[in-house]
Copies of this chain bind each other. A is one copy, B any other.
Amino acid sequence: MTALHSPFSRKLGAFVALSGEELSALERLHGRRKSFAAGRDMVHQGQVNQSAYILASGWVCSYKLLSGGTRQIVDFQIPGDFLGLRSVLFRTADHNIEPVTRVEASEVLASDLLETFSRTPRLATAVLWAASRDEAMVVEHLVGIGRRDAKERTAHFLLELGARLKLVGLGTALEYSCPLSQYMLADAMGLSAVHVNRVLRELREDGLVTFQQGEVTIHDLDRLVTLADFDKTYLDHDGPLLK
């Protein structure tokens, strides 16, 4: 697969119109392809001189561990997402990265990344753009945990996931497959797994959305969007913002 067709290039291209030269610089950035088994952390909190990765297939989650032994999942990454940018920029990882499924990813060496930035500066801007979008997702996540109740939060979460997957061609607005267990949802949404289970049942009984056997099916998009107060503008936009 060339960078020209990689989901990552496509994503950056949505922010900054990329020249042929920039596209091939992106292509060279994709270093060695690596494979990771589900459940075994790719990166640990505190590790130094980590590489970053561009996710080709599979799902991963980024989380932080607390002293009490609980964890908070900050975000899930899906194919086309960039992993561990902060770990590279700060030389030491401030969070763990765990593959949720088997994962294929291209390693990006810190030195290559910084050199690419200096030689093709517009790519630095493009990556800044992508990082800002990630931050917007974390912010939305924060708002959800802080001010939405469990049902709204879960609805919002499932809608966001659907929108993201649709953007990379891994599902439709109404249906997608999702390898996350209820335990992981709980760790992501700041709930207990028990409560996630009950909330999913309620959403199902309300005829809004079903999440069973790894498949999410949205039955009533409008009502779900209203319940969740979901506004997808932070995920998407029309055409490159920088010509």
Q: Which residues of A contact B (CB under 8 A)?
A: 64, 66-68, 70-72, 74, 85-86, 89-92, 94-95, 114, 117-118, 121-122, 124-125, 127-129, 131-136, 138-143, 145-148, 189-190, 229, 233-234, 237, 241-242
Distance of A217 from chain B, by nearest CB (Å): 25
Complex CA–CA separation, A185 to B95 (angstroms):
26
Knowing A114-B125, A128-B128, A190-B145 are in contact, say whether A92-B233 is a contact too (CB < 8 A).
Answer: yes
Smallest CB-CB separation from A242: which chain B residue? B114
Total identical chains: 2
Collect the chain B residues with CB atoms within 8 Å of residue A138's CB: 135, 138-139, 142
Whether the Cβ atoms of A237 and B90 lie closer than 8 Å is yes
- Other-chain contact of A72, B64, B127, B133, B142 (Cβ < 8 Å): B142
Smallest CB-CB separation from A226: which chain B residue? B67
Whether the Cβ atoms of A147 and B114 lie closer than 8 Å is no
Known: A66-B147, A86-B136. 9 other contacts (CB 8 A): A72-B146, A74-B142, A94-B136, A94-B234, A121-B121, A127-B128, A128-B128, A138-B139, A146-B189
Whether the Cβ atoms of B190 and A72 lie closer than 8 Å is no
Residue of A140, A141, A147 with most chain B CB atoms under a 10 A cut-off:
A147
